Structure 1
Amino acid sequence: MKVLIYKRTHKGDPGPEGIFGIQDCMGKMRNWNYDAVIGIGGKASWRGHEDIRYKINWIGLGPKKIISTNQHRGPGVVFTNFALFEAAGQDIETNFPHLFKYMYDSRKRFDMSSVLPENVYLEVMGILNSAESYTPSQEYHIENIENHPIEDHNNTKRCTGCFRNEDMEMDFDQDYRC
């Protein structure tokens, strides 16, 4: 199973409707080949969003890509199982200490490794298993996200997760091609 784990700097993407990319966050990464996503709160949250720091913010299983042609760098994504916790999520350092060390000690922004250390893998699988009882994204039936309001992140002070359309070089295992 390929799991995208990434650190969030702000709330709102995905929103309660369950669309990952509604604010165009994580750009082209949304089009990668993964089976699940775990959004965790990063160290450097935006002002006013500090309450998501070091918490499981959201989980999505069974992604389905939806059309996005209007100022988006990647598709929108909805999920067969979606859980949004934001600040109410579990504390990672307390509840998932191996994942905490793996993601925060290494200064990773995201991870989609083909091989995780066993102790991290077990915690990640526990997180994913907890989301199996959740219902699909509220907007699972939509075909495109063009009619949904999009926040313009180019006008924010900083959005370290959106990459501002800059070219980036990344190394991946052979199984992970964009």
Structure 2
Amino acid sequence: MKVLIYKRTHKHDPDERGIFGIQDCMGQIRNWNYDAVIGIGGKSAWKDHTDIKYRVNWIGLEPKVIGSTKRGNLIVFAHFELYEENGKEIKEHYPKLFDYMYVSGSRKRFDMSSSLPKDVYEEVKSILDSIKDSSPSKAYNIDGADLDTNINYNLSGCSRFFKGKEIEIIIQKCVKENIYKK
């Protein structure tokens, strides 16, 4: 199973309807081939969004494309939970995942792998198992013809522009150690 785990800097993407990409966050990464997504709060959250820091913010299983933006697909999930600031604290509940994503010199913004260290894999599996009986995203059955009337294309949240000037984003590759394949 391929799981995208990424650090969030702000709330509202996905929105309460479960649409990942509603503010164009993670851009083309949303187009990658994955089976699940776990959004966790990064240590450098936006002002007024610091309450998501180091928490499991949202989880989605079995993604489905319902549309696209200029930078990436709009995704909903067959099983979805949005916790935002009410999610479990990662350091307390998932210490191996915490170490993997935040400690030991890790500057990862995201990790997508079908292979994780065994102890991290067990915690990630536990997170995913916690929502296997959850309902789909509220927008899961949206009709493509209704997309424009049902989605707020507020792309200002995560654009590649800062103060009106285009910025370059560089993504580092992750180094895998102690690989456990399932």
Same fold (TM over 0.5): yes
Rounded to whole Å, the distance in 1 between the matches of 2:162 and 2:49 is: 13
Task: State the 1:107 CA deviation.
Answer: 1.5
Give the match's secondary structure for 1:149: coil
The 8 Å contact of residues 90 and 98 in structure 2, kept in 1 or not, is answered as yes
Letter in 2 for 1:73: R
RMSD: 2.2
2:28 corresponding residue in structure 1: 28
Rounded to whole Å, the distance in 2 between the matches of 1:111 and 1:23 is: 21
Once the two structures are superposed, residues 70-106 of structure 1 have per-residue CA deviations (whole angstroms, 9 ceiling, x without a partner) of xx30010000000000000000000000000000011
Once the two structures are superposed, residues 121-147 of structure 1 have per-residue CA deviations (whole angstroms, 9 ceiling, x without a partner) of 000000000011110000001244433
- Shift of the 165–35 alpha-carbon distance from structure 1 to 2, 3 Å rule, reads farther
Rounded to whole Å, the distance in 2 between the matches of 1:33 and 1:49 is: 29
Letter in 2 for 1:84: L
Structure 1 portions without partners, runs of 5+: 159-163, 174-178
Letter in 2 for 1:142: I
Write out aligned runs for 1:1-178 (5 A): 1-69=1-69, 72-105=70-103, 106-144=106-144, 145-147=147-149, 148-151=151-154, 152-153=156-157, 154=159, 166=168, 168=170, 171=173
Rounded to whole Å, the distance in 2 between the matches of 1:138 and 1:36 is: 17
Rounded to whole Å, the distance in 2 between the matches of 1:127 and 1:169 is: 25
Letter in 2 for 1:64: K
Letter in 2 for 1:43: K
- The alignment of Structure 1 onto Structure 2 pairs a total of residues equal to 166
Give the match's secondary structure for 2:68: coil
Give the match's secondary structure for 1:12: coil
The 8 Å contact of residues 57 and 89 in structure 1, kept in 2 or not, is answered as yes
Rounded to whole Å, the distance in 2 between the matches of 1:61 and 1:6 is: 14
TM-score (norm 2): 0.84
Q: Name the structure with the higher strand share.
A: 2
Rounded to whole Å, the distance in 2 between the matches of 1:155 and 1:39 is: 20
- Shift of the 44–114 alpha-carbon distance from structure 1 to 2, 3 Å rule, reads same
Give the match's secondary structure for 1:140: coil
- Shift of the 155–61 alpha-carbon distance from structure 1 to 2, 3 Å rule, reads closer
Rounded to whole Å, the distance in 1 between the matches of 2:167 and 2:161 is: 14
- Shift of the 169–42 alpha-carbon distance from structure 1 to 2, 3 Å rule, reads closer
Letter in 1 for 2:77: F
Give the match's secondary structure for 1:57: strand
Larger Rg, first or second structure (1 or 2): 2
Structure 2 portions without partners, runs of 5+: 176-182
